Amino acid sequence: MNPLTIAIDGPAGAGKSTIAKTVANKLNLLYLDTGAMYRTCGLLCQRAGLSSGDVEQIIALVDTANIDVRFEHGDQHVYLDEEDVSEAIRKPEISVWASDVSAIPEVRLKMVAMQRAIAARQPLVMDGRDIGTYVLPDAELKIFLTARPEVRARRRFAELEAKAPGSTCYDDVLRDINYRDQQDSGRLFAPLKQAADAVLLDSSDLSIAETVEQVLALAKGLQV
């Protein structure tokens, strides 16, 4: 079977990374989580003490930043000036920062160039918001993975609780999800949008295994 490039887009908490990682494993493909790259930009700005309105400073900081994506034993790690920040970028405040900085076209252009360079080296599964519409418009399979906001907030809350019990509450998670939905879909440059040729998959009432099965069936359909 020929390896495919698969683009999985969708809103925060739809399960993209879990599904993309599992599908990539099963198909023996590399998995690139592009959200981690915008999160690294957000972490950089937060650490610099900027606020989201400091657009000129954010552009200058990201422009000169040394951000790198490396695959170690098949797992993606993001580096900021040689520091592995893969864990630090998972904090809820960094989710909001990532959404804020990702609305800036100059930031996106730098990340998209890195994403396309990685995709040019091998077929892969890439997830994000604009992969099927902008980063890899020629991807063989495009999935738009979504779920109801309350379901996405519940899943994200359970994930955060498992990592750090009592660190956040469901209402805050739902508020962040709604904020990011609005901002990620509403920005002018490469917004979150279903590509015309993407398959819509609503995972609200599906298990992870069922969602993976559907993506694998779609991939198989393209390979025969």
Q: How far apart are CA 8 and CA 106, in angstroms?
A: 23
> Who contacts 173 (Cβ-Cβ below 8 Å, separation ≥6)?
92, 153, 156, 157, 160
* Contact criterion met (CB below 8 Å) for 182 and 161: no
Taking CB under 6 A as the rule, does residue 142 contact ligand DC? no
Q: Which stretch binds ligand DC (CB under 6 A): 66-74, 98-106, 157-165, 199-207?
A: 98-106
When binding is defined by CB under 6 A, the residue of 98, 141, 143, 201 that contacts ligand DC is 98
Q: Which residue lies nearer to ligand DC by CB, 114 or 206?
A: 114
Taking CB under 6 A as the rule, does residue 176 contact ligand DC? no
* Contact criterion met (CB below 8 Å) for 184 and 16: no
Q: Which stretch binds ligand DC (CB under 6 A): 18-26, 91-99, 145-153, 203-211?
A: 91-99
Taking CB under 6 A as the rule, does residue 102 contact ligand DC? yes
For residue 106, give Cα distances in angstroms to 150, 190, 211.
Answer: 32, 12, 34
Least distance between ligand DC and beta carbon 224 (Å): 30
Tokens of 135: 């980063």
When binding is defined by CB under 6 A, the residue of 139, 180, 211, 219 that contacts ligand DC is 180
Least distance between ligand DC and beta carbon 171 (Å): 19
Q: How far apart are CA 98 and CA 82, in angstroms?
A: 20
Q: Which residue lies nearer to ligand DC by CB, 27 or 86?
A: 86
